[in-house]
């Protein structure tokens, strides 16, 4: 346990000491909420769909968890590049524990960032429909943070350099986000988008959060929970198998 704790502790220290990243990670969702939430809000309302800001908040929470989860999972890539990974890999601690400590640290950070968005949204006038559903929202956010940090750790174990990281961001993370139900309702979306969103696990996370925060759901909360849990399982399996093969 002590080993896992110290690995987690180190991630948290890193996070607290790199303030620019905290500012950036909070600035981006504010931008999304402001530009999209207010910019598209009136059009959305005129289309008879209701309050767009309320619709958008779960999507932006998922976006924040997506980007910071994958980023902090990919910390392993930075550690590889700057040598610190060797210090961890030659220690008499199993690979599984090293992965677990790092992933828990990354997931904690992603979860915190997701919370910040919720707090920021509060100041923009966002109110959850039903406070008793907050634990469900929390559960979904925890599962998503862990899943995406593991996913990032698995990816980081596969790529050699920062170019690989950029490619993953551009060709995997951005499409995952834009082709989910984060920004627009799927009900009236073109069939192709509906199809893509329905095979994208992020859509189910967004949908589940939307259900627990503003009681709107496209897929149904049961399906959402099943898909998010399955995603978590697959991501952890992926991270373990990739990290085990990693050579420093």
Which residue ranges make up the site for another protein (CB under 8 A)?
A: 2-3, 5-7, 9-10, 13-14, 17-18, 82-93, 160, 247-248
Cα–Cα separations (whole angstroms), residue 90 to 104, 116, 139, 236: 20, 36, 35, 22
Which CB, 90 or 131, lies closer to another protein? Answer: 90
Q: Which residue has the tokens 């995952």?
A: 176
Rg (CA), the chain: 18
Q: How far is the CB of 247 from another protein (least distance, A)?
A: 6
Which CB, 84 or 124, lies closer to another protein? Answer: 84
Which CB, 44 or 243, lies closer to another protein? Answer: 243
Q: Which residues contact 238 (CB under 8 A, 6 or more apart)?
A: 150, 151, 154
Q: How far is the CB of 86 from another protein (least distance, A)?
A: 5
Q: How far is the CB of 30 from another protein (least distance, A)?
A: 25
Token readout for 65 is 């968890």
Which CB, 57 or 98, lies closer to another protein? Answer: 98
Q: How far is the CB of 80 from another protein (least distance, A)?
A: 10
Token readout for 220 is 């149904």
Which CB, 48 or 83, lies closer to another protein? Answer: 83
Give the separation between CA 83 and CA 96, rounded to whole angstroms. 19
Per DSSP, helices labelled H in the chain are: 2-17, 19-32, 39, 41-46, 52-73, 75-81, 84-89, 95-123, 134-158, 162-168, 174-178, 191-198, 201-214, 221-245
Which CB, 119 or 248, lies closer to another protein? Answer: 248
Q: Of how many residues is the chain composed?
A: 248
Q: How far is the CB of 13 from another protein (least distance, A)?
A: 6
Q: How far is the CB of 110 from another protein (least distance, A)?
A: 18
């Amino acid at each position: 346990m002590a080993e896992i704790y110290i690995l987690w502790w180190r991630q948290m220290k890193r996070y607290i000491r790199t303030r620019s990243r905290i500012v950036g990670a909070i600035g981006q969702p504010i931008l999304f909420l402001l530009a999209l939430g207010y910019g598209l809000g009136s059009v959305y309302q005129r289309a008879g769909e209701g309050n767009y800001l309320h619709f958008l908040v779960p999507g932006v929470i998922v976006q924040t968890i997506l980007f910071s989860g994958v980023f902090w999972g990919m910390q392993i890539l930075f550690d590889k590049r700057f040598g610190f990974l060797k210090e961890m890999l030659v220690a008499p601690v199993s690979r599984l524990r090293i992965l677990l400590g790092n992933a828990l640290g990354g997931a904690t950070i992603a979860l915190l960032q997701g919370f910040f968005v919720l707090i920021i949204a509060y100041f923009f006038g966002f109110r959850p429909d039903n406070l008793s559903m907050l634990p469900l929202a929390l559960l979904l956010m925890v599962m998503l943070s862990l899943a995406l940090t593991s996913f990032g750790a698995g990816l980081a174990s596969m790529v050699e350099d920062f170019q690989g990281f950029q490619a993953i961001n551009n060709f995997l993370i951005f499409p995952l986000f834009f082709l989910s139900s984060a920004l627009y309702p799927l009900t009236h979306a073109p069939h192709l988008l509906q199809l893509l969103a329905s095979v994208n696990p992020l859509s189910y996370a967004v949908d589940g959060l939307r259900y627990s925060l503003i009681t709107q759901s496209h897929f149904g909360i049961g399906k959402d929970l099943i898909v998010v849990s399955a995603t978590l399982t697959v991501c952890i399996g992926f991270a373990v198998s990739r990290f085990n093969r990693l050579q420093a």
